[in-house]
Structures are given as C-alpha cells and as structure tokens.
Amino acid sequence: MTHQEIQDGTGFPWDIGVFDAHCHPTDTMSSIAEIPGMRATTLTVMATRGEDQELVHQTAATLRSGQPPSLSGQSIGRVLPCFGWHPWFSHQILDDMRKTETEVTSASVKKQAHYSKVLTPSPADTFISALPDPKPLSQLISETRERLLNHPAALVGEIGLDRAFRLPQVWTQHEKEGRDSQLTPGSREGRALSPHKVQLEHQKVVLEAQLRLAGELQRPVSVHSVQCHGAIFDLFKKLWTGHERKKPSRRERARRYSAADAHAQSDVEEEQQKPITAKRSPLPFPPRICMHSYSGHVEPLKQFLNSSNPSDVYFSFSTVINFNGPSPQKIVEVIKALPDDRILIESDLHTAGQQMDDLLEEVARQICELRGWDLRQGVRQLAENWKKFVFG
C-alpha cells in the first residue's frame, strides 16, 4: 500500500491481517498452490464429506511450513483446518449410536433400509444403488476426534441443518465423461436435483453428535443453517440446559472488582481455561459457534446472543451468499444490529487465489460502510473477532 493510499483511505489494509472465517479451497485442489501468494492472512478451511477430510488435513500440514500451531501466541499459519460432516451429506451417515437401525446381516439390505428411512420421499432402488454405502456415525465421530487431536487448533465444521437441500440426480454416463477432473468428487457439479431430501430428524442426530464432540474437545464450530434457525437454536438450547451463565448479583459484582478478590478471581478464570482432563466432565456444547453466512432475520439475534448462553455465538457474512441473495436488505439490518465483536467475514469460495482475496476485501468494505467504521478500524475489529472466535 502506497503512502497516498494510506492518506486518502483507498488502499485496503491487508497489513493488519485479514481472516477468511469459512471457505472450501480443497474442492479445487489445483488452486491450493495459490494460497502462499494470497494477501489474506489465514483461511479457515472446511471439510464437508468423505472425499475432502484427508485433503483438508494434507493442505494444513503442507502449508504449516514446519511451524506447529500456537494457541497461546495466536499464530496459526495460512490454513486453519476444520473437520466436519455437512448436512448435504448427512444421509451418508448411519445412526448406529442410538441402536435405531435395523440389525441385518446383508450390507445391501442394510443400505436399502437406511436410505429408505432417512430420505423423503423414499427413493427407488436404482437411486439407492448409486449412493455410497453409509458410514456408521460412531466411525465418523472417532475419525473426526482423531483428526482434531492431530490438529490442536482445528475447528469442527462444516456442520448444520438444511431444510431446502435436495440430493442431485444420479450421474449419467454423459455427465461422468464431461466432469471437471480438477474438482474434488462428491459435490453436485451442476447435476439436476432430485425430489429427495434428508429427513430433518436424521440431520439433527448427525449434527448433535458433532456438537457434542466439539464440546468434549472444546473446539469452536462453523454451522450451516438454511431455513432452520429455530431448529438450530432449539438444539443449542438442549445442549446448554443446566450450564447457563448466571448473572452475578450486585454483591458478587462488587466482590469481583474488589482488590482483595482480584487474585482469587484470576485463579478461577485460569482454572476454567484449563484443558479438559479425566477429572472434569466434558461439556456437551462447543465454547464458540459461528453461524456461517447467516441468512436469518434480526429477531432471532436476541436469543442467540442472550448473556445466559454458555457458548459465544458469532455471525459471518459473505458477498456471494448474503449480499447477492434474494433479501440483501434483511442482511443489512442484521449487520447493523449485531455487536461489534460478533461479526466475521468469509468468502465461502471453492477456489483459493485472487478471487478469494477480492471477495474478502469486498465484504469487509461492505461491512465497514454499514457499521460506519473507518476502514482500518473495521479491518482491525474483524481480525480481532476472528482471533477471539478461534482462540477464545
């Protein structure tokens, strides 16, 4: 940035640090080589399905440049990996943790029974035969736990609920022959949509298991929600019950700020920040939640931001989803209503490189304008918000 750009405010302050709270560059692995040359500081890279979990791990490991993540020093490198199972692929998960699946010896019969149960309307045999064999939920949680333990700063994501999503139709031979080989398999890739949706109750089972894992390991989560903000909040509320933050009494507030109790309070807070051990029961909810590309109304913000909630809830916004959607004015009202310290930016892009940088700059400028922030002030606030979301 030139001196003149700093003086007239036109240059974008990449030097402060710009953090993409949600993106999918491993969907286009050929673009990963662009990341070291990007202006963005760190990309929070999501996994969504079976085909990309290992790719997210490999990308983070490759770009770590020999420096392990540092929680205390808030240094993470170019990629922060996130491991989770997206609701669009939740039908591929078999609920074996509640023992609700019919016990059958034939794998093909079990596959048929599973997909007939979790998809609506119930699909034809030919549609089911083209779907992958379902993965047990217990296996998904075990594998995700192992990946999270291998990456001490990793998040859980992308997870969530989606009422609108419909499965794509089965690949035709012509589509198979014409698909872009540079794209990671598993996504829609332009196929026509079928009438089949994933039962919301099944999506909730898969989501809750991952939220509980995030609580066990005290990792933040990135949550996808389409036409499900009420159902998402109800699930959070279920996991929060009995752990609500209590508003201190006037006497307690006075004691908290007295000099005599300062050291004792510090000791308590330090104890609360310690990693979970065998002596401390794991919490059933994540410490921090990002509602990614939030598309809800202003009214639900109050319940998500209630001071009694034991999880801190953040809201991220992208140009592609939020400002180019059908209700941009609704998002403007949401952004203006949020507290300064709960706003994040994201690209939600599937390709790393210049376009991702451009989208981050665009959404940062849009938010700064809506909030009335000076550009440098706003970018600094957004950077601090991301650090607080990731590190606590």
Question: What does each of the 392 residues of the chain score in pLDDT, given as a tens digit?
Answer: 444 444 444 599 999 999 999 999 999 999 999 999 999 999 999 999 999 999 999 999 999 854 444 544 556 789 999 999 999 999 999 999 876 555 555 778 899 999 999 999 999 999 999 999 999 999 999 999 999 999 999 999 999 999 999 999 999 999 999 999 999 999 999 999 999 999 999 999 999 999 999 999 999 999 999 999 999 999 999 999 999 999 876 776 666 555 445 444 444 344 445 454 445 688 999 999 999 999 999 999 999 999 999 999 999 999 989 998 777 789 999 999 999 999 999 999 999 999 999 999 999 999 999 999 999 999 999 999 999 999 99
Q: Is residue 124 part of a domain?
A: yes
CA distance 320 to 360: 10
State the pTM of this model.
0.89
Q: Is residue 376 part of a domain?
A: yes
Q: Is residue 133 part of a domain?
A: yes
Q: Is residue 259 part of a domain?
A: no
Host domain of residue 84: 20-67+79-96+109-166+183-244+282-391
Of 282, 342, 341, 285, the closest CA to residue 311 belongs to: 285
User: What are the tokens at 130?
Assistant: 């083209």
Instruction: Report how many domains make up the chain.
Output: 1
SS3 labels along the chain: CCHHHHHHCCCCCHHHCCEEEEECHHHEHHHHHHHHHCCCCEEEECCCCCCCHHHHHHHHHHCCCCCCCECCCCECCCEEEECCCCHHHHHHEECCCCCCCCCCCCHHHHHHHHHHHHEECCCCHHHHHCCCCCEEHHHHHHHHHHHHHHCCCCEEEEEEEECCCCCECCCCHHHHHHCCCCECCCCCCCCCECCCEECHHHHHHHHHHHHHHHHHHCCCEEEEEECCHHHHHHHHHHHHCCCCCCCCCHHHHHHHCCHHHHHHHHHHHHHHCCCCCCCCCCCCCCCEEEECCCCCCCCCHHHHCCCCCCCEEEEEECHHHHHCCCCHHHHHHHHHHCCHHHEEECCCCCCCCHHHHHHHHHHHHHHHHHHCCCHHHHHHHHHHHHHHHHHC
Q: What is the pLDDT of residue 281?
A: 82
Q: How big is the CA angle at 286 (ends 392 and 234), to the nearest 5 degrees?
A: 130
Q: Is residue 274 part of a domain?
A: no
CA distance 276 to 256: 25
- How many CA atoms within 13 Å lie on the side-chain side of 91? 25
CATH of the domain at 156: 3.20.20.140
Q: Is residue 200 part of a domain?
A: yes
Q: What is the pLDDT of residue 271?
A: 41
Q: What is the pLDDT of residue 73?
A: 52
Q: Is residue 24 part of a domain?
A: yes
CA distance 388 to 306: 18
Q: Is residue 199 part of a domain?
A: yes
